[in-house]
Amino acid sequence: MNKNIAIVGATGAVGTLVRELLVERNFPYGEIRFLASEKSAGKELEFDGRMVTVELLCPTAFDGIDIAIGSTPDDVAREFTPWAVQAGAVVVDESAAHRMLPEVPLVVPEVNPGAIAEHQGIIASPNCSTTQMVLAMKPIHDVSPIRRVVVTTYQATSGAGVQGSADLENGTRAALEEAEWEGGVFQHPIAFNVIPQIGSVQENGYTSEEMKMVLETRKIFADDAIEVCPTCVRVPVRNCHSESILLETDHPITPQQAREVFAAAPGIQVMDDPGDGIYPMPLNCDDLDDVFVGRIRRDLSCKNSLAFWCVSDNLRKGAATNAVQIAELLASSEFSKCRSSN
Ligand SMILES: NC(=O)c1ccc[n+]([C@@H]2O[C@H](COP(=O)([O-])OP(=O)(O)OC[C@H]3O[C@@H](n4cnc5c(N)ncnc54)[C@H](OP(=O)(O)O)[C@@H]3O)[C@@H](O)[C@H]2O)c1
């Protein structure tokens, strides 16, 4: 049965890809509505061979909508979700606004699809760095429970939206031309630099982005005993987040065993022949939906732990693809708790 869809934040980095994915994946849509701020209301955007006018996000914008896919800043998500739920829509939200609320399932379809059934109108999609990490953790966790994760991220500028991408390009141009540049969304110039801070610094010394990786991982696995020690770093890469991950498990897992379970897992591709220079990188994982793993090796300092490198397109699996997959499950008969149209 077709669903009436609203894309909230349809003009942003994630919203743009959600529009493309609905067509690319043949999503069973009925009516389609694009919502954004006053800045974009009235703009015409191409969708599935026709033009659709962007409408202003307002309390009545969700009349007749079945599923609203939200890709807006947190404060905007907090404001619009009650309007959508009141109108009878189910919200699939990419922002951090609702992720840790107990009544809101936090879902990666390859990891915890069953959580969708518990929704009360809102389903959250995790932070992009969490999504690729938990997807890579899942097949290992199934073989030998994970006790501890040490992760360092190398996060692309597109993770900070349209403005983040513009900052990399404008800042790089200004640096090469030795021109003045006022700076943008990052705390420091990102061109020719790496910034070991994403989000605000908390009392415990970790950043808000790092604490998302700790808390969201535990919620997705429904296991508060999993210890996570993250360091999140912004790097001058256009798109795709990379992560150096070390997993400490109950029983030792050999690199060969890990390669086999990764290869058999949905949503994961193994690229692991470092002697021939074969491993995932932002440039060979860009615009792809899977999570890529490589450099799989034993931790020389601990027999129960495994080290590997993991790359994924933060705009696709880290955001838009994950949300559209959740919407697909909602639209399927299995989870058809939302209103249906013909
Ligand atoms: N980028 C990623 O890799 C990524 C990954 C996972 C999750 N997320 C999350 O996804 C959300 C969107 O991120 P993004 O990267 O797509 O950001 P973005 O490129 O800055 O886009 C933001 C979108 O929100 C809309 N918006 C802003 N203020 C609004 C308002 N007052 N009323 C209505 N619409 C408004 C913007 O519309 P206008 O064009 O009208 O301003 C735009 O469409 C954020 O919560 C982010 O944390 C992002």
Domain ranges of the chain: 3-126+319-335, 130-313
Span 270-278, average pLDDT:
98
Span 228-252, average pLDDT:
98
Q: What pLDDT score does 341 carry?
A: 43
pLDDT over 90 for what percent of the chain? Answer: 95
Sorting pLDDT into bands at 50, 70 and 90, what band is 1? confident
Q: Which of 32-46, 83-97, 120-134, 176-190 has the lowest mean pLDDT?
A: 176-190
Pocket test for ligand 1, best of 71, 125, 127, 134 (most atoms within 8 A of CB): 71
Angle formed at CA 32 by CA 26 and CA 38, multiple of 5 degrees: 135
Span 97-105, average pLDDT:
98
Q: What pLDDT score does 337 carry?
A: 52
Beta strand 146-155 pairing with 122-124: unpaired
Q: What pLDDT score does 213 carry?
A: 98
For the CA atoms of the chain, what is the radius of gyration? Answer: 20
Distance 36 CA to ligand 1 centre (A): 9
Picking from 93, 110, 311, the residue whose alpha carbon sits closest to that of residue 221 is 110
Query: DSSP character for 106?
Result: B
pLDDT over 70 for what percent of the chain? Answer: 97
Span 205-222, average pLDDT:
98
The CATH homologous superfamily for domain 3-126+319-335 is: NAD(P)-binding Rossmann-like Domain (3.40.50.720)
List residues near ligand 1 (CB under 6 A): 9-15, 36-37, 39-40, 57, 71-74, 76, 94-95, 128, 158-159, 161-163, 314-315, 318-319
Alpha helices in 88-245 (DSSP H): 128-143, 161-176, 208-221
Q: What is the pLDDT of residues 167-178, one digit of tens each?
A: 999 999 999 999
Sorting pLDDT into bands at 50, 70 and 90, what band is 336? low
Q: What pLDDT score does 131 carry?
A: 98
Q: Specify the ligand 1 atom closest to the Cα of 241.
A: 3
Span 19-41, average pLDDT:
98
Among the options 119, 128, 240, 310, which is catalytic?
128
Distance 9 CA to ligand 1 centre (A): 5
Q: What is the pLDDT of residues 9-27, one digit of tens each?
A: 999 999 999 999 999 999 9
CATH T-level assignment (fold) for domain 130-313: Dihydrodipicolinate Reductase; domain 2 (3.30.360)
Span 56-64, average pLDDT:
98
pLDDT at 98 exceeding the cut of 60: yes
Q: Which amino acid residue places its CA nearest to atom 28 of ligand 1?
A: 37
Beta strand 67-70 pairing with 44-47: unpaired
Picking from 237, 302, 318, the residue whose alpha carbon sits closest to that of residue 18 is 318
Sorting pLDDT into bands at 50, 70 and 90, what band is 342? very low
Within 10 Å of residue 123's Cβ, how many Cβ atoms?
25
Span 246-274, average pLDDT:
98
Distance 234 CA to ligand 1 centre (A): 18
The whole-chain average pLDDT of the chain stands at 96
Query: DSSP character for 201?
Result: B
Sorting pLDDT into bands at 50, 70 and 90, what band is 252? very high
Q: What pLDDT score does 334 carry?
A: 65
pLDDT at 163 exceeding the cut of 60: yes
- Rounded Cα gap, residues 207 and 143, in angstroms: 31
Q: What pLDDT score does 340 carry?
A: 43
Among the options 241, 285, 310, 338, which is catalytic?
241
Residue type, 24: E
pLDDT at 73 exceeding the cut of 70: yes
Span 20-40, average pLDDT:
98
Q: What pLDDT score does 335 carry?
A: 63
- Rounded Cα gap, residues 234 and 285, in angstroms: 18
Span 308-334, average pLDDT:
95
Q: Which amino acid residue places its CA nearest to atom 15 of ligand 1?
A: 161
Distance 129 CA to ligand 1 centre (A): 17
Q: 317 and 267 in contact (C-beta within 8 Å)?
A: yes
Q: Write phi, then psi, for 204 (nearest 5 degrees).
A: -85, 5
Q: What pLDDT score does 183 carry?
A: 79
- Rounded Cα gap, residues 45 and 248, in angstroms: 47
pLDDT at 8 exceeding the cut of 90: yes
Q: Is 241 a catalytic residue?
A: yes
Q: What pLDDT score does 321 carry?
A: 98
Picking from 69, 36, 68, 76, the residue whose alpha carbon sits closest to that of residue 52 is 36
